[in-house]
Structure 1
Amino acid sequence: MRASRLLSLLLLLQTRERMTARELAAELEVSIRTVYRDVESLSAAGVPVYADRGPDGGYRLLGGYRTRLTGLTEAEAASLPLSGIPGPATQLGLGDVLAAELKLLAALPPALRDRATSIRERFHLDAPGWFRTPDDVPHLHAIADAVWNQHRIEVRYRRWQHPQQVTRVLDPLGVVLKAGSWYLIARPGTRPETRPETRPDGDRPGTPGPPAPAAPADLRTYRISRVLTLHTRPERFERPAGFDLAAYWTAYTERFEADSYPEHAIVRLSPDGLTRAPVLLPPAMARAALDGAAAPGPDGWTEVTLPIESVRHAHVEFLKLGADVEVLAPPELRRMITATVRALATRYHPESPHLRG
């Protein structure tokens, strides 16, 4: 571990020319005292590293010194496709992204290295969604290992249907990170229950919804945070010929979103309501509000048809817009909104017994 860190420190100085002890400590995720010790070790080994004093100081290598220790290990090579998202790569156990990136940068000519560094300084990918904590995925590493080595797994899984806990034997084909949540794409093997898992479980706990249609080749999608136990079995499996994980996921999400909003509502939105819809409504509803908006009427309001998951779900979503939305159809939804507005008016009436002071 220390040898790998010393090499990373050396490559950092080689690719970035000069770095302070604090910058090195942040990159290597160690203390500044550890950086001091590592620099001393490099010097003792004959590496010409020296320190510039003053506010613009830092460590640098003697001009012209370069190391050729840039060969990638198998683990580092495996991590390269995820070099832009080092956090998820580490969760998957796919090797040292920093070491792989530094070795590649050190092997590039100066002009190309400067270009690559400039891109990293200007673009950053942050996978998790806003206002949510990442899923707890204690079995992610083991699942990724089984995907990589094509080993069958046996999992105990918590889902939204009854019975909630089921046991599955799966051929794990791929792992997907979607808005901070990890999903497993797998082909079911033998299992005690016959009802298939066809939708990523847990998106809205306790709220049943229509299942997504059967995926090609009988594939299924499982939310990894809902894997309770996992056992990697010794037998291996063969991946389906021509399986394309990215293409499968694109088609699956399109089907899943379409089936999640099987009904429609006709509403009128005020100018403010149309502006706030992308912020307050779910993405599918917000897109329809913007894409399907016709010319405003004489009063400035716009009539649109929006997809809804259910009347009950739409009731909650439209209340977020307050007085900037009027539901025209279906009648049941309009009645529910009307009842809620009347209840609120009664609750907040100046003579309400609940008001104090």
Structure 2
Amino acid sequence: MARNDQLIRQHKLLQLLECSRFGRTLEELRADLVLDLGLTTLHERTVRRDVEALQAAGFDIQNDSVERGKVYKLGQNNKGVHEVGLSASEMIALSIGRELLFPLVGTQYWRGIETFWNKVQEAVPDGVFDHYSRYRKTLHVFGGPSKSYENHEGMLKTINRAIIEHRVIEVEYESVGKPVSTRKIEPYGLAVYQSSIYIVAAAPEVVEPSERLRNWKLDRFRHATALDEYFKPDPNIELSKHLGKSIGIFSGEDPTMVSIRLGSRAAAYVREDPWHPEQKLTTQDDGTTVMTVPASHPREVLPKVLSLGADAEVLAPPEFREAVAEAVQKMATSYAGASA
């Protein structure tokens, strides 16, 4: 156990020295080790012994006297001493991200994730990996995706190639409740939203520039073919901005600001789990809260409002309020004959 602790400290020491251009004093190294490794105590003498042990092992660790004291830094012979340099906390963060990307299982993206994860396990010292394994058991991730796109691997490869080469794709697309239709799209990128993959692509037949870019759900693709037909990407399109304008996955250059009245419990939930970075909550004189939030389609607001029950009411605009009212009326009809 003690040897593992020493190995972990020395591994982290090398990381700290690698990213320090002007060197660190023993006290600075000690403080960083305590913070990064979550230690309760660590004496400066222990840090000095670890540095000396690394020097004895052949690492080119040099020291120099500067205004703030003696500093230690890596010499030119030891720049980039680790192929992969990760601490236990960084491995925990990486493993959580890996679990959240389970929808990509079976695709070329997942193989890349797994290959990198395997390299990490092989590259870090056993002591560091053991330290990670112990602490990883204290954190559990629930509510993750329950599906994968393994069966869509071929289509993903075709779509990815078309995005890079700016090629038009001919797809067989089946919207919910509608027959399969064949159409052409101009793909710009991929997006993962709530465990589903979407293709952000322009519809060539749409003339209005603000309406051309749409998000197509990969689950509804039945076939995709990259054509020998190319398109010129619109230089004004920024996918990060396009995807971040609304609370959901529906696209639109000008999302609508929706006003929703929230009771005290609903307001507390929304403060804990915000719907959008640009949402605004305003407390009213009667104790309720009015939230304004951007949305591109009533279907983005509907499930969120219904999840809050009678503690949430859409005030405006009318089409959003009517959409929720219609859904509530249909639900009331369905439950009208239920026993108490």
Q: TM-score, normalised by structure 1?
A: 0.43
Q: TM-score, normalised by structure 2?
A: 0.45
